[in-house]
Amino acid sequence: MKARVISACVLVPVVVGTAIIGGLPFLAVVLIICGISAWEFGRIFDHHDGIRTPLILLVLSVLVLILARYFIGIDASHRTLTFCIMAAMLCGTILCEQNVPKSALSFVVLTTGMVYIGWLGGYMISLRQLPFGELKFLLVMFMVWANDVGAFTVGRAIGKHKMFKIVSPKKTWEGFFGGMLFTMLVAVLAQLLIPYINNVISTVQIMILSIAVSISGPLGDYGESMIKRCYNVKDSSNLIPGHGGFFDRFDSCFFAMPVAYYVFEFTQFL
């Protein structure tokens, strides 16, 4: 727990500070988060399934997708994704020609990793680029963190009914709804304590957002747990003391950020 607290005291100010500043500092943080997460993602399959995935290509593809999202925007960055997938197929073909075992699976890992982490992770950039994006991004981040804290606290105190006994045996329905309650509480407190929010986000929007993040965040967490459970891996790495790896720490964001982006898009007139 001490290591977790110390790591959080370092990570949280960096993420919050660069989100407020925006621009290249924020881009650099997102590149680090997604680049390392991609490397950790690829290592899980390479180390435990005998796949020789070109991790450099995976990381570079993810970084290129993040850069495309920043410099040319979400409406045009799909072109970059198209060419990255083609590059992954070419790489798999070359590996097969060299008699590399499971080269087709290398293509699958490459493509999945760049879409999962590069494309979905890019929504951190897209959300920050919305009008009042720094406020919206930080609100979603604090909701994700509140959901984690609430689910852990309530689940540990009264959790009895398992959600996914195999995928994540420590997660309970009580913890899930506890996380949702904490997330909604953060939304209410944000509106009460920061009047500026009311000029940017309506009450209807913020309540829809809190519910959406409460569902999508854990879904991202369960998705990563599914991958690690299949390969009997506890943490994606040990780069963040007390938290495991970057993939472990930001797995919820890879689902919560895209959902939040579209909540704001579809509820802008509410």
Residue 127's CB is within 10 A of a number of other CB atoms, namely: 26
SS3 call for 170: strand
Percent of the chain scoring above 70 in pLDDT: 97
Cα–Cα nearest to 60, from 93, 94, 83, 26: 83
Task: Please give the model's pTM, rounded to 2 decimal places.
Answer: 0.91
Whether residue 1 is predicted with pLDDT greater than 70 in this model: the reply is: no
DSSP state of 234: S
pLDDT score at 112:
94
CA dist., res. 255 & res. 174, Å (int):
21
CB 205 within 8 A of CB 263: yes
pLDDT at 259 over 70: yes
Quick check: 164 and 222 in contact, CB under 8 A?
Answer: yes
Answer for the pair 77, 122: CB distance below 8 angstroms, yes or no: yes
Q: What is the rounded average pLDDT of the residues 189-214?
A: 89
Give yes or no for a contact between 120 and 128, defined as CB atoms under 8 angstroms apart: no
- How many Å apart are CA 136 and CA 245, to the nearest integer? 25
3-state secondary structure 49-68: HCCCCCHHHHHHHHHHHHHH
Give the model confidence (pLDDT) of 68-92 as tens digits. 999 999 988 899 999 999 999 999 8
Spatial distance between the Cα atoms of 10 and 184, rounded to a whole number of angstroms: 26
Residue 3 pLDDT exceeds 80: no
Q: In which band, very low, low, confident or very high, does the pLDDT at 239 lie, cut at 50, 70 and 90?
A: confident
Alpha-carbon span 254 to 136, nearest angstrom: 16
Q: What is the pLDDT of residues 17-48, one digit of tens each?
A: 999 999 999 999 999 999 999 999 999 987 76
Per the CB < 8 A criterion, the answer to whether 122 and 78 are in contact is: no
- The least confident of 61-70, 79-88, 96-105, 256-265 is 96-105
pLDDT above 70 (res 12): yes
pLDDT on residue 103: 87
Question: Is 151 within 8 Å of 252 (Cβ atoms)?
Answer: no
Q: Do residues 66 and 27 touch, judged by C-beta distance below 8 A?
A: yes
137-162 average pLDDT score: 91
Q: ∠ CA(121), CA(46), CA(55), 5° rounding?
A: 50
